[in-house]
């Protein structure tokens, strides 16, 4: 039994720290905003020029002028502020954003990420992903473990065009949580979703990885 998307977002939200400035990518990462732990205050930033993003609006209360970088309607907060896109990317490139949570189509065992295009398919553009993986202090990828065709998404080397090389700090999928001690270090499987076995993860993962201390101890028992 794998984690649902909501459960994946809840697990990612456990990586938030009080006072963090956070950028959330489109797709599953947007669900992190609804799962911020109690007692934790974070400020959400959007590349299109907004700091302090509120929750999604109720149906019928949408303001078409209030959208995030993924074109979703959002709400503002009492402390929300607006600025130019160039200022927004200045925050990102200047290292002022603590954490970004991004979706991906592929992540390699070296920490590379491919999340912006599939060759031959029409795309809207690069967006802010390349700047985010280069300028944000910590990068977490939140994605389903396998593609719709059953192929591995955690792979030895990305086949799709890269967004960034050696930039991913943590990978959370519907099967488990992988992290690495530093860029250049191998990924370690730290947690498995309830009901998921190590054999299942190995079967669905093309990348090489190590076991974290707790799982290594359990496998030796």
* 3 HSE (CA, 13 A, CB side): 22
What global pTM score does this model have? 0.93
Q: What is the pLDDT of residues 4-62, one digit of tens each?
A: 999 999 999 999 999 999 999 988 998 998 899 999 999 999 988 999 998 888 899 99
Q: Are 141 and 102 in contact (CB under 8 A)?
A: yes
Least confident of 54-63, 104-113, 205-214: 54-63
Catalytic-labelled residue, pool 15, 47, 106, 109: 47
Binned at pLDDT 50, 70 and 90, residue 99 comes out as very high
Least confident of 81-95, 98-112, 118-132, 190-204: 118-132
- Span between the terminal Cα atoms of the chain, in Å: 23
pLDDT above 80: residue 219? no
Mean pLDDT taken over the chain: 92
- For residue 220, the model assigns a pLDDT of 64
HEC string for the chain: CCCCHHHHHHHHHCCCCCCCEEEECCCHHHHHHHHCCCCCCCEEEECCCEEEECCCCCCCCCCCCCECCCCCECCEEEEEEECCHHHHHHHHHCCCCCEEEECCCEEECCCCEECCCCCCCCCCCCCCHHHHHHHCCEEEEECCCECCCCCECEECCCCCCCCECCCCCEEECCCEEEECCCCCCCCEEEEECCCCCHHHHHHHCCCCCEECHHHHHHHHC
Q: Is 47 a catalytic residue?
A: yes
From 100, 107, 115, select the one nearest 32 (Cα to Cα). Answer: 100
pLDDT above 90: residue 68? no
Structural domains of the chain, with CATH? 5-220 (3.40.1080.10)
- For residue 124, the model assigns a pLDDT of 67
From 48, 172, 23, 190, select the one nearest 107 (Cα to Cα). Answer: 172
- For residue 119, the model assigns a pLDDT of 72
Tokens 């002022």 sit on residue: 96
Cα gap 34→20, rounded to integer Å? 16
The highest-confidence range among 17-21, 128-132, 211-215, by mean pLDDT, is 17-21
Here the tokens at position 68 are 């995030």
Q: What is the pLDDT of residues 148-182, one digit of tens each?
A: 999 999 999 999 999 999 999 999 999 999 999 99
Binned at pLDDT 50, 70 and 90, residue 217 comes out as confident
Q: Are 48 and 128 in contact (CB under 8 A)?
A: no
- Cβ neighbours around 61 below 10 Å, total: 9
């Amino acid at each position: 039994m794998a984690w649902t998307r909501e459960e994946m977002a809840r697990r990612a939200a456990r990586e938030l720290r009080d006072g963090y400035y956070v950028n959330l990518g489109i797709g599953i990462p947007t669900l992190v905003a609804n799962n911020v732990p109690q007692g934790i205050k974070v400020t959400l930033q959007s590349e299109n020029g907004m700091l302090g993003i509120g929750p999604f609006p109720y149906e019928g209360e949408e303001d078409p002028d209030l959208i995030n970088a993924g074109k979703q309607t959002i709400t503002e907060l009492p402390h929300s502020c607006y600025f130019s896109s160039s200022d927004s990317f200045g925050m990102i490139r200047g290292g002022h954003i603590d954490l970004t949570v991004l979706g991906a189509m592929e992540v390699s065992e070296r920490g590379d990420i491919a999340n912006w295009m599939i060759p031959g398919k029409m795309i809207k553009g690069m967006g802010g992903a390349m700047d985010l993986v280069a300028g944000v202090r910590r990068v977490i990828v939140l994605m389903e473990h396998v593609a719709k065709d059953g192929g591995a998404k955690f792979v030895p080397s990305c086949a799709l065009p890269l967004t960034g090389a050696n930039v991913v700090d943590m990978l959370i999928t519907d099967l488990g949580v992988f992290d690495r001690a530093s860029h250049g270090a191998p990924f370690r499987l730290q947690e498995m979703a309830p009901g998921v076995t190590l054999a299942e993860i190995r079967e669905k993962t093309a990348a090489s990885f190590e076991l974290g201390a707790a799982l290594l101890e359990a496998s030796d028992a």
